[in-house]
A and B are shown apart, each in its own frame.
Chain A
Amino acid sequence: MAAARALWRPGLPVPRGCGRLWAQPGRAAAAVAPPPPSGASPGARSPFDRRLKRKQKNWAALRPRPAECEYLRDEVGSGVADRVLDIPRTFPLALDLGSGRGYIARHLNQEVIEKLVQVDIAENVFKSTSESEIPTVSVVADEECLPFKENTFDLVVSSLSLHWVNDLPKAFREIHQVLKPDGVFIGAMFGGDTLYELRCSLQLAELEREGGFSPHVSPFVAVSDLGHLLSRAGFNTLTVDTDEIQVNYPGLFEVMEDLQGMGESNCSWNRKPLLHRDTMLAAAAIYQEMYGNSDGSVPATFQIFYMIGWKFHESQAKPAQRGSATVSLGDLAKIDKLLHQK
């Protein structure tokens, strides 16, 4: 407990208990619906209702078979774990943001990460965490205001939870802050083209049936914006790569049901509260006709952006000074001779 207490940002009350750290109910409410925080970037909108997202994730975690809908998170979690394993280091203390039931920790062992802190906004996911070798501490907190001190973690990972964050620049800045120098952030987020079939089908159906349309699929970040956001937050040596996962479903209703089961239901403030049955029927027909596969199933595309960013440390490689080259690129044809000369 003393070790955990040492991590806490000064000024925040430390919750009691050991092992699992549950935020007090009053503080939890404050964490999910904060008044305009002092560190907010100018012009920050809040498109998402975090309270509702918490309720949705809690509901999804209490379903009888939560493992049914977690195929996507498991896949992306193993992708993030692969990238962690690519770095030949042992991380004494790591943070998993928006961990859910723990999709990254289950692919890693204690040689890579010695101790893990899992953070999620919904407390029910911790009631059924998956088995992992790594000793874990679970904290219920909002990704937008992390309760940790500066320079605490050697590694921060996040898998498929940052796309519901209201102020993404601030979240990246906070991650950069809690990292130690020479620490690394490895994240995975849903990107631009995710669920475009669902979005288009619903849009066309609403246009045809109701004469107008409202957004049903949340806006996703584009890959170029991601690079800018990360470098503005202070990360060095960025790597962003994309992966596209296509999952086939029987139809539109199954897509929506699985999204609900994953806790990915819409929680934008500007969402339409009602989706007419006629519109859903029309959208299902359009989805099948425009995007359907030959065997009658429909594809749903998930585009994942994997990003790796480092916090500055003197030991890291820097770009060389201009004018310090010793050989010219034009000598590439004679490279064998040059190597022998050395």
Chain B
Amino acid sequence: MSGRGVWLRARARLRRFPALLAGCGEQASAYGRCVAAASAGSAELRRDVCLREFQALRECFARAAAATKC
């Protein structure tokens, strides 16, 4: 990673995350519920157990990012 510009741009992108995530509350709680259920009790949480919910969340997030692109 060379130059300060990279860090500043990465930080600026990251700062938009909370606002974008706020618009995807439904998908976020669906994903959270899935992970909570998968890790509760004696179940072991494995990779991609909640893949579908996460993909829905990411698509919503990407849509929000594209919509509010400045």
Q: Write out the residue numbers on chain A whose beta carbons fall within 8 Å of the beta carbon of B17.
A: 253, 277, 280-281, 284
Q: Write out the residue numbers on chain A whose beta carbons fall within 8 Å of the beta carbon of B58.
A: 278, 281
Q: Write out the residue numbers on chain A whose beta carbons fall within 8 Å of the beta carbon of B54.
A: 208-209, 278, 282
Selected contact of A285 from candidates B14, B31, B47, B49, CB within 8 Å: B31
B33 lies within 8 A of chain A by Cβ: yes
A75 lies within 8 A of chain B by Cβ: no
Size of B's binding interface in residues, CB under 8 A: 24
Size of A's binding interface in residues, CB under 8 A: 23
B23 lies within 8 A of chain A by Cβ: no
Q: Judging by beta carbons under 8 Å apart, are B45 and A286 in contact?
A: no
Q: Write out the residue numbers on chain B whose beta carbons fall within 8 Å of the beta carbon of A289.
A: 28-29, 31-33, 35-36
Q: Write out the residue numbers on chain B whose beta carbons fall within 8 Å of the beta carbon of A205.
A: 35
Residue among B27, B28, B39 with max Cβ neighbours from chain A (10 Å): B28
| Interface residues as binary, A232-260 with B (CB distance below 8 Å gives 1, 0 otherwise) | 00000000000000000011011000000
Q: Write out the residue numbers on chain A whose beta carbons fall within 8 Å of the beta carbon of B46.
A: 207-208, 211
**Nearest chain A CB to B59 CB, angstrom units:** 12
A204 lies within 8 A of chain B by Cβ: yes
A136 lies within 8 A of chain B by Cβ: no
Q: Judging by beta carbons under 8 Å apart, are B31 and A207 in contact?
A: no
Q: Write out the residue numbers on chain A whose beta carbons fall within 8 Å of the beta carbon of B29.
A: 285, 288-289
CA A205 to CA B57, docked complex, whole Å: 13
**Nearest chain A CB to B1 CB, angstrom units:** 10
> Interface of A with B (CB < 8 Å)?
204-205, 207-211, 250-251, 253-254, 277-278, 280-282, 284-290
Q: A253-B21, A288-B32, A289-B31 are in contact. List 10 more A-B contacts (CB 8 A).
A: A207-B39, A207-B45, A209-B54, A210-B47, A277-B17, A281-B58, A281-B61, A284-B17, A285-B27, A286-B36
